[in-house]
Amino acid sequence: MLAIACPGQGSQTPGFLSPWLDLPGVRDHLEELGEQAGLDLVAHGTVSDEETIKDTAVAQPLIVAAGLLTARLLLADHPVTAGTVVVGHSVGELTASAVAGALPEDDAVALVRARANALAPAAAVTPTGMSAVLGGAPPEVIARLTERGLTPANANGGGRVVAAGTLEQLTALADDPPAKARVIPLKVAGAFHTGHMAEAVTVLEQLRPSLRPAAPLATLLSNFDGRPVTTGEGNLDSLIAQVSRPVRWDLCMESLQSMGVTGMLELAPAGTLTGLAKRGMRGTATLAVKSPEDVEAARSFIEEHSRTPALDPSLTPEGPQ
C-alpha cells in the first residue's frame, strides 16, 4: 500500500525548484499557482535567498506549490484511490487535501495564502516561539512542558517534540531541560499550532464560505489524531482548527503502519518526513522526491506499492467531522 506524504514549513531551501522548471508544463503551472497566491513563486523557488523564503508568507505557499507541481507530474497516469493514503505535516495538510481530492487546487492555494498571511499578525500579539526538544523520556518531556505552560506543538515521534509558547517560557525550559534531553531554539516567528494562533483561525473561518470541500478520493489522514477524515467539511474543520492545535505526526505514522502501508513517497521539497519515517516506521520503504532525477524512480515506486492490497475497511475509523 502506498502513502503519499506532503512536507511542512522548514523543508524549503534556496533554488530547490530550479531544476523542475526544465520539465514541460512546470513553469506554466508554477506561474499559475503564483498568480493565485499573489507571489512570484518562480523567483522564490529559484533565486530568492534563504531569509526571503523563511518568511512564513512566502514559505508556506511555496511549499504547497512545490508539492502540487510534483504531484501533477507523478500522478497524472496513476490517480489516487481509496487504496492510497495521503498525509501532510502542518501546512503540508493543505497539499495533501488537494492531492486527495478533498479541496480543488485553487482552494488549497487560497487557503494557504490566507493562512500564511494571518499567522504573522497572530504571532505579533505576544512574543512567542518554538524549540525542539530532542531525547528524554516522552512522559517526562510532556510533564516538563506542562509544568512550564508550554504546548507540545509538534509530536514527531522518535523522541522528537517541538515545544511552543512565550519566549520567557522557552528560556525557562532551556535553562532546566528534561533529563537526557536537549532544547534547541527554532528560527520561527511564533508559537504555531497553539492557542496563540487563535486570531488566524478566525481569519480562515471567514474564508470558509468561498471554499469547495469534497469527500476525499484517497484515504486522507488528519494531523489532529492521525485518523482518516471522511467528508470534505470534516477535513476543512480539521484544516482550520489545525492552525491552533498540535500536530500529531507520531499518530499519523502509527496509523500508516496499522493500515499496512508498505511504501511512503514524499513530495518535494522532500526529505524531512522520510527521515522521520526511517525512525518511526522501521521496515517501511521510503522515497524522497527531491529533483527531476527522482521522477522515474518515483513512478516505479508508486506502481510497486499501489499493487499491494487495498486498505481494509475495518482499519478506517471515523475521523473528526
Catalytic residues, which ones? 90, 193
Residue 160 bridge partners (DSSP): 134, 157
Beta-sheet strand order (sheet of 84-88)? 228-229, 219-221, 84-88, 2-6, 263-266, 285-288
Task: State how far the Cα of 301 lies from the Cα of 295, in Å rounded to an integer.
Answer: 10
Report whether 90 contacts 154 (CB < 8 A). yes
Residues 234 and 225 sit within 8 Å (Cβ to Cβ): no
Q: What is the CA radius of gyration of the chain?
A: 19
Q: Copy the grid coordinates of residue 79.
A: 490517480
Q: Which helix (H) or strand (E) holds 69?
A: helix 56-75
* Distance between CA atoms of residues 213 and 170, nearest Å: 38
Give the β-pairing of 247-248 and 151-157. Answer: parallel
Asked if 51 and 187 touch (Cβ cutoff 8 Å), the reply is: no
DSSP 102: S
Q: Would you put residue 180 in left (φ > 0), alpha (ψ -120 to 50) or beta?
A: left
Q: Three-class SS of residue 228? A: strand
Assigned C-alpha cell, 137:
523520556
Cell numbers given for 102: 478533498
